Amino acid sequence: MSLVVVGSVAYDGVETPHGKVDRMLGGAATYVGLAAAYFAPVKIVAVVGDDFAQEDVDLLASRRIDLDGLERVAGGKTFFWAGVYSADMNDRTTLRTDLNVFADFQPKLPDAYRTAPYLFLGNIQPELQRNVRSQMPGVQFTGGDTMNYWINDFRAELLATLAQWDFLLINDSEARLLSGEHNLLRAAAKIQGMGPRTLIVKRGEYGAILFHEGEHFIAPGYLLEDVFDPTGAGDSFAGGFMGYLAGQGIKPAAGKANVAELRRAVIYGSVMGSFCCENFGVDRFRTLTRDEIETRFRELQNCTSF
Amino acid sequence: MSLVVVGSVAYDGVETPHGKVDRMLGGAATYVGLAAAYFAPVKIVAVVGDDFAQEDVDLLASRRIDLDGLERVAGGKTFFWAGVYSADMNDRTTLRTDLNVFADFQPKLPDAYRTAPYLFLGNIQPELQRNVRSQMPGVQFTGGDTMNYWINDFRAELLATLAQWDFLLINDSEARLLSGEHNLLRAAAKIQGMGPRTLIVKRGEYGAILFHEGEHFIAPGYLLEDVFDPTGAGDSFAGGFMGYLAGQGIKPAAGKANVAELRRAVIYGSVMGSFCCENFGVDRFRTLTRDEIETRFRELQNCTSF
């Protein structure tokens, strides 16, 4: 079943200890879409300027990614972000953020998108996220991402948005900020009380924790020999998670019936996040095969079972 | 089979967000011994002053802990350490370190200890660790812990010591410092090349990774509702790990035959480290039962399988 992904499509400039790329395809919706398309058909909602290159359109279109919702603003420029990573790649410094056409992004869903059963809302203004949700009254599994800025300065809007979500996928520091609890078990309980019955807390290289129906699942991070560029790893995680659920047609509503599938979805998230780091930007997804994904899934099984 | 544990027996003063204790039983050999004694008979080698309280002797003696190797220095004072933890308990500041009788610690093994098949060497001067090892020519599984100070300032001595060890159990920052590699896979390969064929890298709340025979095992950290006092958690991990191996009579030499048992030993380490944090100092071990340990082992299985 198909998955609608709303978020940024952008250009990034990235410097890591392994090298420097001045301008390459990036953005949350790009990473989520490319990762999810290995598992299910994807429909992207985003905005770009007329500087958006045909080769980047071609890459997305060559996968199961519908670009009818990719708005092009004539005379506008595509969102640009540049940053540099620390030597251990645990920190990054933003050098430049030019929102450009993304500053006025008003997501518009083509009619054919409105009946999709799965919706992933990337990190944009909570009110815009709510607006998109309201355009899909029949959606069956909705959720997304947010960030510190919305948690701190748009709390009321964010809470209204979360109240309508089935799941939330954020990192550990955001979970602590949103809940006001340092302890992750307490933080998760509070956040689930805000709406999302399914919560995934990402822990960077350490993996993620899934909270669902009063239980939790600790998912490992895959140990990589080389991390070339962590940009987009969290979004690729989201793509693997949502893509797997959509591909299998799983809607984790009430009950524990689908817990095993949700756990597998989190592992596919971890797998896709790890592949993302193996090359600059989206480059790893140019060559990655479904067989490699399955092999890594089994590797994670082998290195965690006891 | 029995396990010899060499290291500090001390008094600690600890302050965490949950409270403050001015003076309580502590020390690496204490935590390792108390945790390991749930699984196997333990023989402690340590030194204390004549201020060491009878009730603390009684606690240790009430378990399967042989104290023939606990030297008492007349007129001396027991090692004392005091520290305060940060609000999130990820950092601690040392307020006081009085080595006292520990400054001149020369481990002496009673004759009855020399034939024990298992030896755990706590974090003391590498040359002393090597000296103890040489007093146990028939030992079948030897290893231990070290710290930044020895890695930086006693590197040659430490390398000579490690060359004779079957396993090393250190935390991730120490593994990086010892190997000069940030990446854990590369760090592990280098450290295994120094001698220990079995390496356990502790990752604090995130658990640990076991490296053995060209494979690795990612062990989770147990999610606690409350961390009262993390003091001794790493040593309790070591106690669970070594205690389980000794109790089962497993000697992970060449070959992959015992990989499953080694994995279980690491999980018991994670379990014992988590219990340690549930109360101040060694207090949790005053009430902890083997049944509770088994229950938590199964909980970790449940919350990691997919």
Mean pLDDT by 10 residues, chain A (306 residues): 97 95 98 98 98 98 97 97 91 95 95 97 96 95 96 98 97 96 96 97 96 96 94 97 96 74 97 98 98 98 96
Which one-letter amino acid corresponds to residue B302? N
Closest CA to B117 of B253, B246, B278: B246
pLDDT for B177-218, tens place per residue?
Answer: 999 999 999 999 999 999 999 999 999 999 999 999 999 999
Partner-chain contact A87 B182, CB within 8 Å:
yes
pLDDT tens digits for B74-112?
999 999 999 999 988 888 999 999 999 999 999 999 999
Answer for the pair B136, B161: CB distance below 8 angstroms, yes or no.
Answer: no
Nearest chain B alpha carbon to A208:
B206
Provide CB contacts within 8 A for B159, sequence distance 6+. B194
A95: left (phi over 0), alpha (psi -120 to 50) or beta: alpha
In terms of Cα–Cα distance, which of B10, B94, B13, B20 is closest to B51? B10
Q: What is the chain B residue with the closest CA to A215?
A: B303
Q: Is the pLDDT of residue B115 over 80?
A: yes
Nearest residue to B215 via CA among B163, B267, B270, B258: B258
Do residues A44 and A9 make contact, with C-beta atoms less than 8 angstroms apart? yes
Cα dihedral B253, B256, B257, B261 sign: positive
Per the DSSP assignment, residues forming a β-bridge with B96 are: B82
Judging by DSSP bridges, how do beta strands A10-16 and A19-26 pair with one another? antiparallel
Return the CA Rg of chain A.
18
Which residue is it, tokens 């952008």? A10
- pLDDT value at position A43? 98
Q: Is the dihedral of CA B26, B29, B30, B31 positive or negative?
A: positive
CB atoms closer than 10 angstroms to residue B67: 19
Task: Give the A-side interface with B, CB within 8 Å.
Answer: 87-88, 182-186, 203, 206, 209, 215-221, 223-227, 260, 263-264, 266-267, 301-306
CB atoms within 10 A of CB B306: 20
User: What are the residues whose beta carbons fall under 8 Å from the beta carbon of B92, sequence distance 6 or more?
Assistant: B83, B84, B85, B86, B230
For A146, the token pair is: 């947010």
- Amino acid type, A256: K
**A224/B301 touch (CB, cutoff 8 Å), yes or no:** no
Q: What is the ipTM of this complex?
A: 0.93
The residue among A134, A133, A129, A176 whose CA lies nearest residue A151 is: A176
Q: Is-contact A193 B196, C-beta < 8 A? A: no
pLDDT of the residue at A129: 97
d(CA B49, CA B9): 10
A215 and B184 within 8 Å at the Cβ level: the answer is: no
* Cβ-defined contact of A182 to B224 (cutoff 8 Å): no
Please check whether residue A209 is in contact with residue A218, taking contact to mean a CB–CB distance below 8 angstroms. yes
Q: Which of B185, B266, B301 sits opposite A225 (nearest CB)?
A: B185
CA dist A253 and A257 (Å) reads 9
Distance of CA B103 to the CA centre of its chain: 20
pLDDT of residue B253: 67
Contacts of B304 in chain A (CB under 8 A): 217-218, 220, 304
Interchain contact, B185 vs A223, CB within 8 Å: yes
pLDDT confidence band for B254 (50 / 70 / 90): low
CB atoms within 10 A of CB A60: 23
Helix H or strand E encompassing A186: helix A184-193
Q: Are B228 and B16 in contact (CB under 8 A)?
A: yes
* C-beta atoms of B304 and A226 within 8 A: no
Q: How far is CA A214 from CA A144, A169, A186, A194, in A?
A: 20, 17, 12, 15
The structural domains of chain B, ordered by start, are: 3-302 (3.40.1190.20)
Contact B79, B99 (CB under 8 A): yes
What is the rounded CA–CA span in Å between residue B66 and residue B13?
A: 26
For chain B, helix (H) and strand (E) counts, in that order, are: 11, 13
Q: How far is B175 from chain A (nearest CA, A)?
A: 14
- Most A CBs within 10 Å, among B185, B218, B259, B263, to test the A interface: B218
Residues of B whose CB is below 8 A from A182: 87-88
Nearest to A303 among B183, B217, B264 (CB): B217
Give tens-digit pLDDT for B52-82: 999 999 999 999 899 999 999 999 999 999 9
For residues B269 and A62, what is the distance between their CA atoms, to the nearest angstrom?
49
- What amino acid is encoded at A271 in this protein? V
Alpha helix ranges (H) inside chain B: 28-36, 54-61, 126-134, 148-153, 155-162, 172-179, 184-192, 233-248, 259-276, 284-287, 290-302
CA distance B272 to B44: 18
Which of A218, A268, A300 has the most B C-beta neighbours within 10 Å, making it the best mutation to test the interface with B? Answer: A218
| Tokens encoding B198 | 């079995």
pLDDT-based confidence at residue B255 (cuts at 50, 70, 90): low
pTM for this entry? 0.95
Model confidence over B209-241: pLDDT tens digits? 999 999 999 999 999 998 999 999 999 999 999
